[in-house]
Chain A
Amino acid sequence: MKIPVLRLKDILLTSIQVDLTDEDALEFQDDVLKAVERTEASGVLIDITSLDVVDSFLARVLNETAVMVRLLGAEAVISGMQPDVALTLVEMGRELIGVATAINLDHGMEKLQELISKRGGG
């Protein structure tokens, strides 16, 4: 299952709308990193509004994707986590999510722009 990665000016926009297998999740990570490199994007917004399960594996992949994106020199924000998903992740262990988040796509875009301008301004 291929997750589309869309380019919007200097931002990459992705929305995970299907229940991912582990292979799908890793392929998504790879696609995002390659797209950042190819497009020289300043930031990536990953929307997970439609995800009703984020287990420890997917949490790790999302976290690591954000860290990797930052290593490439871009910023990453995850938006739209469902309340039940947040609750479950915290119950399982607080170390599971350490990435910048936003309540929805709108706020996610704002936060991403903020992070980008902070980085740009040094």
Chain B
Amino acid sequence: METKKVEIKGSGDIVTARQAGREMARELGFGSADQTRLATAISELTRNVTQYAGMGFCTIVDNSDKNTIKIKATVEDTGPGIPDIDRALEQGYTTGGGLGAGLPGTKRLVQEFDIDSVPGQTVVTIVLSRRKI
């Protein structure tokens, strides 16, 4: 099972993480639209780390099984946490001066999306999956 881990400290690491995601998606046989979805989703989540937490990690894992190709990306940080997750998932809601499209947009790009956030520990997990043909 392949795993890639990227330390997220600055905006160059966002690029590294999303490229790593795209590369794994391509290797596993995801189509180009899915490669772009995953790369974009990772870009959004890792930007939240640089913007709100300063540093964190992005771990990308091949979770494929017999019937499904599946990539799980986990983005975690030790920042202040997301005080109101429901609001953070509303389109257009932002505390960071952006468009408020990051989290709700990311959720729509992937098959599974999960946020676990308390002060000092935020973990966002996304899964992109397709049935094997």
A residues lining the B interface (CB < 8 Å): 19-23, 52-57, 59-60, 82-85, 87-88, 91-93, 95-96
Contacts and interface: CB of A to CB of B under 8 A. Distances in A.
Per DSSP, are chain A's interface residues mostly helix, strand or loop, or mixed? helix
Given A56-B101, A88-B40, A93-B105, A21 B35 contact: no
B11 interface: yes
A22 B91 contact: no
B15 to A, nearest CB: 5
A55 B14 CA distance: 11
Contacts of B4: none
B14 A92 contact: no
- Majority-rule SS of B interface residues: helix
Interface residues of B, number: 30
Given A84-B35, A88-B36, A56 B105 contact: yes
Contacts, number: 79
A92 B108 contact: yes
B44 interface: yes
B14 A21 contact: yes
Contacts of B36: 52-53, 82, 84-85, 87-88
Contacts of A22: 11, 14, 47, 50
